[in-house]
Amino acid sequence: NKKRHRADDTSSARMTASQPQVLSVQRYLYEKDFPLYKQPIEIGFFSLDSQRRFYNDDRQLRYYVEAESSPNFNLRDGYRDRYIKRDESIKEKLDHMLQWILENRGKVEMAPKVEGASASSRHLKFDFVTWRGHLTKILTTPYETHEGWLLAVTLFQGTHYISEVETEAARREREDRSARHEEMTYWGYKFEQYMCADEPGGRPDSGGTVNTNEAYCTVVQTRLTDHHLLFSGEVDCKDNGSPLKTAPGCYIELKTSLEICNPKQQSNFLRFKLLKWWAQSFLPGVPRIVAGFRNNSGYVVSTQTYETGKISQMIKAEQNCWRPTVCMNFCAEFLSFIKKVVILDDPRVVYLFSWDPFKDVCYSVHRDSEYSFLPNWYVEEMR
């Protein structure tokens, strides 16, 4: 679309000579038709066990168990004595995704162009490889007023790898978390335990240990405008109730939230929380979000199912609310900005994109720095 391209170059991304230096995040620039976003297709999955070991299978997939209509789940149970917490100071970057790629090359590599072509041409059929969580941050950027981000991008054999770098503010936040905040982080995982069984048709084991090293991740491919994307995201559980639904259509995202008791809370829920929930589940095509509403004492007293595809209708009546089209158009144009800026194809080079609320996106370039994130084991295997 030529018209849209011209708009890119003259408004949202400001040019100096031939390369844009900054990208604007102002919402009005992205109030356009909803961009093409292909139905995400699951092309694989992997599991991380209780010791964070990688498995190229679905052993950590759990199964959704519907809650009774008036549950009384105590989210504080087990916090002291049945909680094993992942070490968040260990930065895993893209490592597990890269490991999945190496073990599933046939699913992600371009078909050789001609018979007898050089066996060493190991190009992926994707423009971008990243975590779903990083894309969620990009989608919500036009509406974010508190936290900035740093995204490291390396171009390697034609594919842009995007890996987050923790900001100073986020590190301080993580290290200074209050005891209550620390416990509330546990509550989300505890809710998962009340809602999931290890086997299809099984029962939840609320007396077990919560170990946040364990994860099941889906790997999906999709396309946003002309950007071919490969990303992975953690999936809470599968609904075996509708056996015809294939992944990601059978997946359910679990969330907890404070009970909504007044119009102010209702408005905040629609304007801020649903934005994050929608972005996270829309990206991989997870169709349902089951929310557990808790009171201040940490008891879930009701659950509610939200259809990801109906959230945009739910928020329409709300004043000054977010718009999915702004999120998706901003993401598409940020990815275009990356493609224009990142030209050195070198695993040792990182383009560090940074953004702070009320500012433009800008970037800096670093060779052989602390920001390099593609491990040698990956680079050597792919060359």
List contacts with ligand 0WD (CB under 6 A): 48, 92, 96, 131-133, 136, 164, 188, 215, 217, 233-234, 255, 280
- Tell me which residue has tokens 């031939």: 18
Q: Please, which residue, 48 or 327, has the CB nearer to ligand 0WD?
A: 48
Minimal distance in Å, beta carbon 115 to ligand 0WD?
A: 39
Question: Helix 324-341 crosses helix 132-140 at what angle (to 10 degrees)?
Answer: 110
Q: Which stretch binds Ca ion (CB under 5 A): 57-65, 160-168, 236-244, 259-267?
A: 236-244
With CB under 5 to 8 Å by kind, the binding choice for 164 among ligand 0WD, Ca ion, none is: ligand 0WD
Minimal distance in Å, beta carbon 227 to Ca ion?
A: 26
Minimal distance in Å, beta carbon 309 to Ca ion?
A: 18
With CB under 5 to 8 Å by kind, the binding choice for 270 among Ca ion, ligand 0WD, none is: none
**Judging by DSSP bridges, how do beta strands 210-211 and 83-84 pair with one another?**
parallel
Minimal distance in Å, beta carbon 219 to ligand 0WD?
A: 11
List the beta bridge partners of residue 361: 23
Nearest residue to 280 via CA among 134, 159, 141, 98: 134
Minimal distance in Å, beta carbon 180 to ligand 0WD?
A: 17
Q: Please, which residue, 66 or 92, has the CB nearer to ligand 0WD?
A: 92
With CB under 5 to 8 Å by kind, the binding choice for 96 among Ca ion, ligand 0WD, none is: ligand 0WD
Question: Counting contacts by CB under 5 A, is residue 341 touching Ca ion?
Answer: no
Q: Please, which residue, 96 or 294, has the CB nearer to ligand 0WD?
A: 96
- Residues 161, 130: contact at Cβ < 8 Å? yes
Q: Quick one: which of 196, 247, 254, 311 contacts Ca ion (CB under 5 A)?
A: 254
Minimal distance in Å, beta carbon 289 to Ca ion?
A: 9
Q: Give how many residues touch Ca ion by CB under 5 A.
A: 2
Q: Please, which residue, 40 or 148, has the CB nearer to Ca ion?
A: 40
